[in-house]
Amino acid sequence: MRVAPESLQQASGSLVAVGTRKRGDDDAPGAMEYLTSVLSAKGYDVAMESPLQLAVKLSERLGVSLWIKREDMQPVFSFKLRGAYNMMAKLSQAQLDRGVICSSAGNHAQGVALSAQRLGCDAVIVMPVTTPEIKWRSVERLGATVVLKGDSYEEAQSYAKLRCEQEGRTFVPPFDHPDVISGQGTVGMEIIRQLQGPLHAIFVPVGGGGLIAGIAAYVKRVRPEVKIIGVEPSDANAMALSLCHGQRVMLEHVSGFADGVAVKVVGEETFRLCQELVDGIVLVSREAICASIKEMFEEKRIILEPAGALALAGAEAYCKHYGLKGETVVAIASGANMNFERLRLVTELADVGRKREAVLATFLPEELGGFKKFAELIGRVNITEVRYRDDSGVKYALVLYSVGIYTDDALRAIVARMESSKLKTVNLTDNDLAKDHLRYFIRGRSEIKEEIIFRFIFPERPGPLKKFLDAFSPRGNISLFHYRAPGETGADVLVGVQVPAEDLGEFRSYADNLSYEYTSESNNEIYRLLLHSPEMRCC
């Protein structure tokens, strides 16, 4: 079953998938087996018992005791080491002699590589060709053989499984295996041991589900009153949608911003355990994730990767939404393998995530004194950015601007003042298309006939642009193009193409065969508002 991530909408911090799980009784098959497996896990040969630290500033601001489980301090800067080693340590000597293989874009790869080094076995790690050099070099330094294959994780995984069959190696999955799940479950065992007294909830980042399944399998057996709450990005929410539909689903597309949890399909065993044991999922925006990265830097002087800060963002959103006060909660900082190039985007979005900056657009009549009138209507607020250029050829000009530290009421008041003076104003703060692309086209507005707009994910390696142009030229004229490298494995590209209506089906066929993920934005209200001719927008 294929579904779109945006098909699931919720208020920030509210639980989804509550009441859809099929909770079994204490004698459910596998319950005691997982408990004993976690207690006997072998991960401590390479992993450390990570500290549980109180986030003093965040706790004071939220009115709760918020503890951070520092899995970013593991030898490979991620919890993934626990599950990989626990599975590999249980292999027979004959299996170790034949070697292991896995597919991964990052943290799992390093966990398998270090585990193989300690166990003295040969390891092959298949990674997409889009994997940043810093990541695959780190794997090589641990002694594994790195093979770069395919543009996506799915292609890399298919190749790894093929080689697994051909060479007789053991495939080490990133999450969907009982021994991997049990290894990750030691995180929950440590939390219960380290934190005495009442505990309201543990917030866990969710990708394929190995970490939350392992923690839930242990904690729900020994402390059933503790809530286990998963946290996913709103644009990479495979577990939440699977729980809502009562079956595993495949996402039509997935954002790579929090690449450590960017999966299209959750595991079969992890889904079964989550149905029985997890109390719900919280979805958060990438702006909230960026804000939590900044919060952790200010709190502990550490820089988490987006997936590593995911649980913290969910914990804060949950506490605010439900007005939680005086309770104790734990958020897992799951990893710190941050690409340095991504810090630029994190910095840009962090203030939006904490409501320290809002992005607005106002359509201003091109007349004498118009900009002064606009400035007076804004009022006494902190303006952090303004983009405006007089254009005598149009009736209305577009002003893009940002205001600092605000409340929802203050923001609504600004928009109301503008609208009362007949200045059409749009709040773009929560619109990713506008923030990622359209804000850079302040001078690029026009009415282009037969223009269709798409967002493509280009692999971050040489050649994708040429491949794209070769596929469509000369079938369509490129009318708009905006590329913005986000420091991920894929680049978000906005493309406008002039395609006659009778050729639209052929165009989509070529787009499908290109194997780049894409979504149509032609009917996006903000696109039509910001990029079409001013007269059409403001009439």
Q: Reduce the DSSP state of residue 392 to 3 states and report it.
A: coil
- Cβ neighbours of 26 (radius 10 Å): 9
Write down the pLDDT at residue 473.
66
Is 24 a member of any domain?
Answer: no
- Cβ neighbours of 301 (radius 10 Å): 7
Note whether 282 and 135 are same-domain residues: no
Condensed to tens digits (0 to 9), the pLDDT of residues 7-27 reads 888 888 889 876 555 555 444
Note whether 375 and 484 are same-domain residues: yes
Contact 45, 87 (CB under 8 A): no
Note whether 461 and 410 are same-domain residues: yes
Note whether 114 and 42 are same-domain residues: no
Residue 394 backbone phi and psi in degrees, to 5: -130, 160
List the chain residues with pLDDT less than 50.
25-29, 534-539
Is 54 a member of any domain?
Answer: yes
Note whether 119 and 203 are same-domain residues: no
List the catalytic residues: 80, 334
Specify the CATH number for the domain of residue 334: 3.40.50.1100
Is 536 a member of any domain?
Answer: no
Is 157 a member of any domain?
Answer: yes
Note whether 276 and 392 are same-domain residues: no
Q: What pTM, to 2 d.p., does this model score?
A: 0.78
Side-by-side strand order, sheet with 451-459: 477-484, 490-498, 451-459, 518-520
Is 537 a member of any domain?
Answer: no
Distance CA 374, CA 361 (A): 11
Note whether 394 and 435 are same-domain residues: yes
Residue whose structure tokens are 């005495």: 196
Note whether 258 and 278 are same-domain residues: yes
Which letter does DSSP use for residue 16 in this model? B
Interhelix angle 178-194/80-88, nearest 10 degrees? 130
Note whether 212 and 303 are same-domain residues: yes
Specify the CATH number for the domain of residue 476: 3.40.1020.10
Is 433 a member of any domain?
Answer: yes
Write down the pLDDT at residue 488.
54
Note whether 320 and 427 are same-domain residues: no
Note whether 160 and 205 are same-domain residues: no
Among the candidates 299, 333, 351, a domain finishes at 351
Distance CA 234, CA 494 (A): 20
Distance CA 264, CA 519 (A): 16
For residue 64, give both structure tokens.
């709760």
Note whether 132 and 191 are same-domain residues: no
Among the candidates 320, 351, 382, a domain finishes at 351
Contact 401, 383 (CB under 8 A): yes
Handedness of CA 239, 242, 246, 247 (dihedral sign): negative
Which letter does DSSP use for residue 144 in this model? P
Domain of residue 116: give its range.
80-171
CB-facing half-sphere around the CA of 232: CA atoms within 13 A: 34
Is 494 a member of any domain?
Answer: yes
Write down the pLDDT at residue 537.
44
Structural domains of the chain, count: 3
Among the candidates 156, 171, 186, a domain finishes at 171
For residue 300, give both structure tokens.
């502990």
Distance CA 172, CA 109 (A): 10
Distance CA 107, CA 139 (A): 9
Is 25 a member of any domain?
Answer: no
